[in-house]
Amino acid sequence: MNTVKTGLLLAALTALFGVVGYFLGGSTGMVIALGIAVVTNLFAYWNSDRLALAAHHAVEVDERTAPELVSLVRDLAGRAGLPMPRVYVIDNPQPNAFATGRNPENAAVAATTGILQTLSREELAGVMAHELAHIKNRDTLTMTVSATIAGAISSIAQFGLFFGGGRGNERPNALVAILTAIIAPLAAMIIQMAISRSREYEADRIGAEICGQPLALASALDKIANGVAHIPNADAEHHPTTAPLFIINPLSGQGMDNWFSTHPATENRIAALQALAREMGSFFTAPAAGSPWGSSPRRGPWG
């Protein structure tokens, strides 16, 4: 059922692309826009992971440059029955992480330096397990494709704002272009939000099962949400359509693009994990300072 819902939402995004084209250029504009949508989908399928990683200046690491992180991901991937994904580090003080890739065989996980400095090993394991759950469920392709289409809709709407809109041989209609530039990205954001929100609870549940400590993931979510609230992420603000990829929405919420959250409320996710912990009989205590990965900020092994 979730797959059908996601397919319908992606179809709605593609249809919205055509509607935008129609308002900006009539029937010809709609055909052109739908053609662009098809090309965008194909391009996103093969390149969405590279685009997302490049947008956040992610650097690939290995056993030599980040041995603890890579070892942790390898262990969790083994538990999840997944191929080892590529591992990236993002030089950003905001604690956050995301996964991307068109399938488990071509997947990647990325963690910010901020999250590595903020979380304990157990908490980081919960976060990485959550990202691996997205890979296992093939959510990464869905979210990256939706991000690419939503970004394209915003771009074509802005293009119409500058060059005017019209149907057929009619003169350009500035009002139509302005309304399209405002409404189209907003509609794309709402659809993208619906795609993302329905998948976070499931990734939390499966991630908790992979790492075996639901409360560790709950503790991580609390710390990440607190960090996001106080530490801006400039790259995410410049590329807001990538927000659904992250475990916690990285946007500051100060602009129009942030009126609607792409993630469920953190407190609701934590409550769901606490309920799961009671079912699993799981217990977790935050580690003392100085334990592996540490509770206090420190530099990672990549320098």
Q: What is the distance of C-alpha 189 from the center of its chain?
A: 13
Measured from the Cβ of residue 57, the count of other Cβ atoms closer than 10 Å reads: 12
Cross-strand bridge partners of residue 101? 107
Residue 173's SS3 state is strand
- The catalytic position among 122, 123, 131, 200 is 131
Distance CA 99, CA 75 (A): 16
209 is catalytic: no
Edge-first strand listing for the sheet containing 86-90: 59-61, 86-90, 107-112, 97-101
The first and second tokens of residue 134, run together, are 């997205």
- Using left for φ > 0, alpha for ψ between -120 and 50, and beta otherwise, residue 288 falls in beta
Q: What is the distance of C-alpha 120 from the center of its chain?
A: 22
Residue numbers annotated as active site: 131
